[in-house]
Amino acid sequence: MADVNRGDRPLSPHLQIYRPQITSSLSILHRITGVGMALAALLIVWWFIAAATGPGYFAFVDGLLTSWLGILILVCSLWAFWFHFFNGIRHLRWDAGVGLSLQQSARTGWTAVILSLVLTVISLIIAF
């Protein structure tokens, strides 16, 4: 039977109670980057379809993707790729039972963020 003296307390812990932690923040970011990469893949497929459709349509789509907004989206997608890659390795290590302590989890989380930023910059330097 339910406790009738609960008052206005929530049924379960939620975001208003918990302080954001590196593990929860990166878990949410991992999901967001996965969705973002799928959307970026659709943009790239759209670019290929435009190339196969004809020069006029390709010029339109290429103009969008090489505009400042398109470049920003592609650079963010590049960072999302590297973050998702390094955070995925982190999750694989967890699946093997390695790096599960709070200190190791925080350290590997920040490592994934820093490596993703560094590899994004290196990738951009190589590309340009």
* Chain CA centroid to CA 121, Å: 16
What are the tens digits of pLDDT across the range 39-84?
Answer: 999 999 999 999 999 999 999 999 999 999 999 999 999 999 999 9
| Residue 18: band (very low, low, confident or very high) from pLDDT cuts 50, 70, 90 | confident
pLDDT for the residue numbered 3 = 55
What pLDDT shows up at residue 79? 98
Contacts of 104 (CB under 8 A, 6+ apart): none
Return contacts of 21-27, CB within 8 angstroms, 24+ apart. Answer: 22/105, 22/106, 22/109, 22/110, 23/105, 23/106, 23/109, 26/87, 26/109, 26/112, 26/113
**pLDDT-derived band of residue 35, with 50, 70 and 90 as boundaries?**
very high
Task: List the domains of the chain with CATH numbers.
Answer: 22-127 (1.20.1300.10)
Q: What are the pLDDT digits (tens) for 78-100?
A: 999 999 999 999 999 999 999 99
Q: What's the rounded mean pLDDT across residues 86-115?
A: 97
